[in-house]
Amino acid sequence: MEQKGKQDEALLLKYYKRCKDKVRDNQYLSLYADEKLTHSFQVVGAGNYIMRHEDVFKKRADERYLRSAKLAYLFHDIGRFVEIEHLYDEYPDFKKHDHSQYSYEILKGILDYAQAEILLPVKHHGHMIKSLYEDEDYQKIKDIQQKQDVEHIAFLVRDADKIANFYLMKNSQKQENDIFEHLFMNKAPEGELSEKMVHDFLSLKMPGRGDIRCKGDWMLNYLSWIYDLNYQASFDFCRKTGVFTAMFRILDKYNKNKDLQKEIERTIVEYINHRNQQFERG
């Protein structure tokens, strides 16, 4: 099993190294590739944490299922390196890319990884969850247990990806750094939070990125990912590492309306308490 793990990581590193070699003369894209490799292994750590603490994983003795889960979060962003290569070719006029689809295409072509429990969670980890349920390959699955396995692994990958990004925001200390601006703020200007963004957020909905107008809107969008967390272990991880408090501080930096800031923070705290009560009730 350990040997297989090294072989799996070698594939991820192969795509990283190919990408890094291509973009090495572009400082931003080179840093972006480094960040995405670091992120991939942070997601592995987050995924391992969730699997250790959630019964749906820790009470399963099926090695194939558990390996599929680990492979899905290891490889969820392997397509990022393909995306970065495309960005290099387009620089600085970037087009929109779906790195989830790139990851899916890579894994689909490798026999050991070409199974629904890996492919579907990877393919849709960056999409709204309804895209998984609408996928023809998901709908074709007749076995109820397999369908549940795909869902549980999809929730795992989505959670691990989000809490790893939360942790990065907390610890990067790059708020004034060009790479942070590119990765998290997309060079957005300063300004008041968008009314539509705020309305959706306070309604416990994930605001649409099309409504983002400023840096504070981006942070509000990232905070709204909390509404898409699925496992109690994910909330526990965030609480223990202090990521919610750190994200409040970042938003507060860009949000000049302090009364609104208090309302946003109160909304999140109440939502977290509500979710914890749901988990306790089972």
Give per-residue pLDDT as tens, 199-255.
999 999 999 989 999 999 999 999 999 999 999 999 999 999 999 999 999 999 999
Which secondary-structure segment (H or E) carries 234? helix 232-241
Average pLDDT of 55-82?
A: 97
Average pLDDT of 86-99?
A: 91
| Interatomic CA distance for residues 221 and 227, integer angstroms | 11
Between these two residues, 182 and 219, which has the higher pLDDT value?
219
Tell me what pLDDT residue 282 has. Answer: 78
> What's the pLDDT tens digit per position in 102-114?
999 999 999 999 9
pLDDT, mean over the chain? 93
Tell me what pLDDT residue 186 has. Answer: 73
Residue 132: pLDDT above 90?
Answer: yes
- The tokens for 212 are 């983002």
Q: pLDDT confidence of 183, banded at 50, 70, 90?
A: low
Q: pLDDT confidence of 169, banded at 50, 70, 90?
A: confident
Which range among 49-53, 71-75, 165-169 shows the weakest confidence by mean pLDDT? 165-169
Closest CA to 197 of 276, 254, 129: 254
Between these two residues, 154 and 208, which has the higher pLDDT value?
154
| Interatomic CA distance for residues 141 and 138, integer angstroms | 6
Tell me what pLDDT residue 177 has. Answer: 56
Tell me what pLDDT residue 182 has. Answer: 66
Kindly state the DSSP code that residue 214 receives in the 8-state scheme: S
Interacting residues of 281 by C-beta distance below 8 A, sequence separation 6+? none
Which secondary-structure segment (H or E) carries 21? helix 2-23
Average pLDDT of 19-47?
A: 95
Q: pLDDT confidence of 19, banded at 50, 70, 90?
A: very high
Tell me what pLDDT residue 231 has. Answer: 98
User: How deeply is 7 buried, as exposed, middle or buried, from its count of CB atoms within 10 A (0-12, 13-18, 19+)?
Assistant: exposed
Tell me what pLDDT residue 179 has. Answer: 61
Tell me what pLDDT residue 2 has. Answer: 59
Quick one: angle between helices 116-123 and 63-75, nearest 10? 30
Q: At 41, give phi and psi (nearest 5°).
A: -75, -25
Average pLDDT of 103-130?
A: 97
Average pLDDT of 34-50?
A: 96
Q: pLDDT confidence of 94, banded at 50, 70, 90?
A: confident
Tell me what pLDDT residue 72 has. Answer: 98
Residue 1: pLDDT above 70?
Answer: no
Q: pLDDT confidence of 91, banded at 50, 70, 90?
A: confident
User: How deeply is 218 buried, as exposed, middle or buried, from its count of CB atoms within 10 A (0-12, 13-18, 19+)?
Assistant: buried
Tell me what pLDDT residue 4 has. Answer: 72
